[in-house]
Structure 1
Amino acid sequence: MNETTKARVLFVDDEARILTTMRMLFRGQYEVFTANSGQEALELLKTQPVDVIVSDQRMPGMTGIELLRAARELNTHAMRILLTGYSDLNAIIGSINEGEIFRFINKPWSNEDLTTTVARAVTAARASAAATTHAEGAAPAPGAPPAVLVLDDDAEVPAKIQAILGGDFRVVGATTMDEAVGLLEQERIGVIVSDTRVQDNPVINLIGTLKQHHPELVSVILTERADAGTAIELINQGQVYRFITKPIHDSQCKITVSSALRQHHRLAQTPELTRRYEVAAPVQAPPPGSQTGKLMDRIRGLRTVVKRWV
């Protein structure tokens, strides 16, 4: 698509007043399409390619997650944003595992936040559109594949994941964030598999800082106790790739980690694609000089080390 043409944005909501608000808010800036149901949106997408899809989650007949999952098949390159007015962890996890959401926005939203988010999604869609096709055909990098770093309080989890993945994969384990950063400084890592909390500390700053400064790294979250707020943060500030629920199921784990390694390869070989996984600014950064702050500084210094491996 020519960069001088207006971006095409589709808004989907069963409430007519919200669609009217969207038209008024974005008219003149984008070519705006609207649909009042998931099915209507899918019919439109069969004939009208768009850059960004913004959908409500709770709609009769078809939820936002179901729509965005189907839309991903019809319009691979479109960026996907989910709006919701209620907290539902299963829906949030589904948005990552099935719809690959760029951002999760709570209703009622701030117009400034919404317009900024849509603008970033448009930029990402256009920057990555041409690169996506090229990335699919990229040849594997020479040498041994990168390792999978497993971060979990339970020291037995890395061995369990190694057993599930088999000998074609190399797993290294850490039980603290300090150990994890140390391994990142020493090893060629492609995928991080982490619990939401380690030693009772949330991993959001670690995951978010890694994605910001080292965007080809792909994160998978292990969860058995995550709340909706944590999951939203991990989407918006960490662009996590997938969730794996505990107790770990062998087939889900192997499929997810294999897919994550392929995603790492695509991002490493085609850096333009990383625009699709741009992270939001942290809500609260760790204080400078704190232990967490020092770890984040070490992560920022990883870039030159990691580039040696790619």
Structure 2
Amino acid sequence: MLHDCAIIGGGPAGLNAALVLGRSRRNVVLFDNNRARNAVTQEAHGFMTRDGIPPAELRAIAHRELTRYPSVQFRQVTVTEVAKASENFRIRTENGDLYEARTVLLASGLKETLPDIPDIHTFYGKSLFNCPYCDGWERKDEPLVVIAENEHAFDLAKTTYQWSRSLLLCTNGHAVLTAEQKEKLASKNIRVNETRIRSLKGHEGKLQSVVFEGGEEEARTGGFVSPHWTQAAPFGEHLGCRFNEHGGIESDDFGRTNVENVFSAGDASVIIPAQLVVAAGEGSRAGIGINSLLTTVDF
């Protein structure tokens, strides 16, 4: 069967694109390997009518809604290859199955690498997070730590300051702040510690303190971390898509990339995770872009 679109990735961008295309009477196959980046997240925020919902529940609701549209098919499997085959695209899965589609939407998102700190994964998603807009309200007015080893350190601390005035910025042994940035942070009473972190202390994922190599210990109840982001799948590179300076797939307002009939939406396009509602909106626009392209071709 020739599908109108193959969607790689079952996050909010891919799901919303599938919804738009299903309602447009397009034959869609959506591939999802069920390895969501936000699997550790207990609540999703900033999505109107769904504020505080567990991400897994949000996905389950989306799946139920999509069953109303029989032209949308789900495949819970990992895609291993996406290649141009004549006028269409060939999609191969890990179990050897082949699919063919007229267009492809890359919505596989990102993978994250956390700073190399012992036991940081124990706290991530419970008291340490990556997005103040998503989890800042729940941490408001607490003594927080901001952990960032990269150029985002200053901006993350500046943003987190909106939710808490008791901030400790840790660069984990990396010199990433300018003298001007340090001066500005000091003017806001945001303390900076550039010493390497030896360990994080706490109980059942709830942070209690940060311990540095020299033995100094700072009491903190939670905070925010700046991970290193990379593409979760290599298909954009394999297909010849252009990337921006941050490593995201370049696309226009309707998700069109420089490669004919290849679209991109969600975090893979920006290389910095957005709120679920933003990714879903990008998926909607990409769905409209794909349907508009196919309508023009077929009319």
TM-score, L = length of structure 2: 0.26
The structure in which a higher percent of residues are helix is 1
Q: Rg bigger for which structure?
A: 2
The structure in which a higher percent of residues are strand is 2
User: Does 1 or 2 have the higher relative contact order (CA < 8 Å, sep 6+)?
Assistant: 2
